[in-house]
């Protein structure tokens, strides 16, 4: 069963990515997986998005703020 997320008013791709996948860096992956909604920047409430399974982790060579970690 695919994992889903139902938007609340004001959600944006990067925020949804952080909430569901742990990092804003996966926003492009989330958009690619939900191409039907790619035209939206700020979501209304009630849209159900499919959350992809992420296999790779961000490179440890990236600074912490780009990896989604604390500074």
Q: What is the DSSP letter of 9?
A: T
pLDDT in tens, 2-32: 799 999 999 999 999 999 999 999 999 999 9
Range of the domain at 44: 3-53+62-67
Q: Render the burial of 55-71: b for 16+ CB within 10 Å, e for the rest.
A: eeebeeeeeeeebbeee
- Tally of domains in the chain: 1
Mean per-residue pLDDT, 47-62: 82
Three-class secondary structure assignment of 31-63: HHHCHHHCCCCECCCCCEEEECCCCCCCCCCCC
The predicted structure's pLDDT at residue 29: 94
The predicted structure's pLDDT at residue 70: 54
Mean pLDDT across the chain, nearest whole number? 89
pTM of the shown model: 0.74
pLDDT of 57 strictly over 80: no
């Amino acid at each position: 069963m695919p994992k889903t997320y139902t938007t609340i008013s004001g959600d944006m791709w990067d925020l949804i990515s952080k909430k569901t996948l742990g990092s804003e860096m996966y926003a492009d992956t989330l958009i690619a997986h939900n191409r039907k909604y790619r035209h939206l920047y700020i979501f209304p409430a009630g849209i159900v998005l499919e959350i992809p399974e992420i296999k790779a982790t961000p490179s440890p060579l990236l600074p912490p703020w780009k990896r989604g970690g604390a500074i």
